[in-house]
């Protein structure tokens, strides 16, 4: 691991010392920047009434040789970290309210900024819920969508497993320290995700933090924060899943809910979401419809060739389309390409997902 810059060092130090995300925010407020915190902590520590003494003394103690100790531990556990000041911090997460200053993760954060859907639901899912989770996640995964979930049992586990099966990236957000696997039952799943490039297990909590109920509440904001939309498969009334949905709504994410029988306990939450305006999700098309990037991807995915393989004539046509020409007659006049040939090039372009030809006009998709 390369040596840490002052921002990283300070944030990791605070986090490891048990300073919560909210407290970190306050400290930053107080000192002005991470560097100031690091440099002036000793002088000001008696003025920090919002931190309790145990934490302050812990921080003072751990500051000595902090970087070496942490590096060694991270290396041993194969854990990586990213802070909010880093370039590779997930873009979507940066803009939510109360973003985590530090993320610990195992695996790889590659592609985390691509289109992402959180698939969440009850731990005690019904067979219907599991079926729906597998079907919808599978279809999303086939489109290359990242799947985010909470690595719990039930729907979460189905979502991660299905994503892995279809070779989509999947990110599991947990509510404990990165070295704590909870629930134990999912150990294999944890391993599968962090081994190889299949995604990552992510948490904002430092080592050894136990999975207490309160953590999951905060964890849920990261699940929705990392996503473009959340797909709620099954949820009971007043469940953690609905909390995530609440976060999603606050963060302006699309909320998709799978409808269920009105007498099913596990569909009460999702049906209520639908009543409150969540998008009813009967098939993956309902999701694609709402998420612009997905719509485009659907078109592009159907392409039989890559964009970079456009021929000269194709590029020429795209050039004219970009200049505002949108019908066949004008195109053939401007490009001076023979009509027959023009028609055939348009087919190729449409196959490549670059354009859409409707009856009256040609529109550019790229």
Q: Which residues bind other proteins (CB under 8 A)?
A: 299, 302-304, 327-329, 332-333, 339-348, 350-351, 353, 357, 359-361
The residue (of 212 and 351) whose beta carbon lies closer to other proteins is 351
> Tokens 């999702």 map to which residue?
270
Nearest distance, CB of residue 338 and other proteins, angstroms? 9
The residue (of 312 and 329) whose beta carbon lies closer to other proteins is 329
**Concatenated DSSP letters for 140-209?**
HHHTT-EEEE---STHHHHHHHHHHHTT--EEEE-SS-TT--SSGGGHHHHHHHHTTTSEEEEESS-TT-
Task: Measure the CA–CA gap between 356 and 348, rounded to whole angstroms.
Answer: 11
The residue (of 213 and 304) whose beta carbon lies closer to other proteins is 304
The residue (of 5 and 347) whose beta carbon lies closer to other proteins is 347
Task: Measure the CA–CA gap between 137 and 123, rounded to whole angstroms.
Answer: 16
The residue (of 322 and 361) whose beta carbon lies closer to other proteins is 361
The residue (of 292 and 351) whose beta carbon lies closer to other proteins is 351
Terminal-to-terminal C-alpha distance of the chain: 39
Task: Measure the CA–CA gap between 299 and 241, rounded to whole angstroms.
Answer: 32
What's the half-sphere exposure (Cβ side, CA atoms, 13 Å) at 364? 14
Furthest-apart CA atoms within the chain: distance in Å: 82
Nearest distance, CB of residue 256 and other proteins, angstroms? 24
- Cβ neighbours of residue 194 closer than 8 Å, sequence gap 6 or more: 78, 106, 107, 200, 201
Task: Measure the CA–CA gap between 18 and 6, rounded to whole angstroms.
Answer: 19
Nearest distance, CB of residue 351 and other proteins, angstroms? 5
Tokens coding 201: 């297990």
Nearest distance, CB of residue 313 and other proteins, angstroms? 10
Nearest distance, CB of residue 310 and other proteins, angstroms? 14
The residue (of 6 and 342) whose beta carbon lies closer to other proteins is 342
- According to DSSP, the β-strands at 279-280 and 116-120 are unpaired
The residue (of 153 and 303) whose beta carbon lies closer to other proteins is 303
Nearest distance, CB of residue 318 and other proteins, angstroms? 16
Nearest distance, CB of residue 341 and other proteins, angstroms? 7
For CA atoms 277, 254, 273, 159, give the dihedral sign.
Answer: positive
Nearest distance, CB of residue 325 and other proteins, angstroms? 12
The SS3 assignment for 1 reads coil
């Amino acid at each position: 691991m390369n040596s840490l810059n002052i921002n990283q060092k300070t944030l990791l130090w605070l986090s490891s010392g048990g300073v919560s995300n909210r407290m970190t925010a306050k400290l930053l407020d107080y000192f002005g920047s991470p560097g100031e915190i690091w440099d002036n902590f000793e002088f000001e520590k008696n003025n920090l009434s919002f931190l309790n003494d145990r934490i302050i003394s812990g921080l003072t103690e751990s500051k000595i040789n902090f970087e070496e100790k942490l590096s060694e531990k991270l290396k041993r556990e194969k854990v990586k970290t990213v802070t909010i000041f880093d370039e590779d911090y997930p873009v979507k997460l940066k803009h939510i309210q109360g973003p985590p200053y530090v993320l610990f993760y195992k695996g790889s954060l590659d592609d985390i900024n691509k289109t992402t859907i959180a698939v969440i639901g009850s731990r005690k899912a019904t067979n219907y819920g599991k079926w729906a989770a597998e079907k919808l996640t599978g279809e999303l995964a086939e489109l290359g969508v990242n799947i985010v979930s909470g690595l719990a049992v039930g729907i979460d586990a189905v979502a991660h497993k299905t994503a892995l099966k279809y070779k989509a990236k999947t990110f599991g957000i947990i509510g404990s320290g990165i070295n704590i696997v909870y629930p134990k039952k999912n150990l294999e799943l944890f391993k599968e995700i962090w081994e190889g490039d299949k995604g990552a297990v992510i948490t904002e909590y430092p080592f050894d933090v136990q999975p207490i109920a309160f953590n999951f509440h905060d964890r849920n904001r990261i699940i929705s924060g990392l996503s473009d939309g959340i797909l709620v498969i099954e949820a009971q009334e007043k469940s953690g899943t609905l909390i995530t949905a609440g976060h999603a709504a606050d963060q302006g994410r699309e909320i998709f809910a799978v409808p269920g029988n009105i007498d099913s306990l596990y569909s009460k939450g999702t049906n209520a979401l639908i009543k409150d305006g969540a998008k009813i999700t009967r098939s993956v098309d309902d999701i694609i419809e709402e998420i612009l990037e997905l719509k485009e991807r659907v078109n592009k995915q159907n392409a039989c060739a890559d964009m970079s393989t456009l021929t000269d004539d194709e590029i020429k046509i795209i050039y004219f389309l970009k200049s505002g020409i949108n019908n066949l007659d004008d195109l053939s006049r401007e490009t001076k390409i023979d009509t027959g040939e023009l028609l055939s090039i348009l087919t190729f372009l449409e196959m490549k997902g670059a354009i859409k030809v409707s009856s009256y006009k040609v529109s550019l998709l790229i």
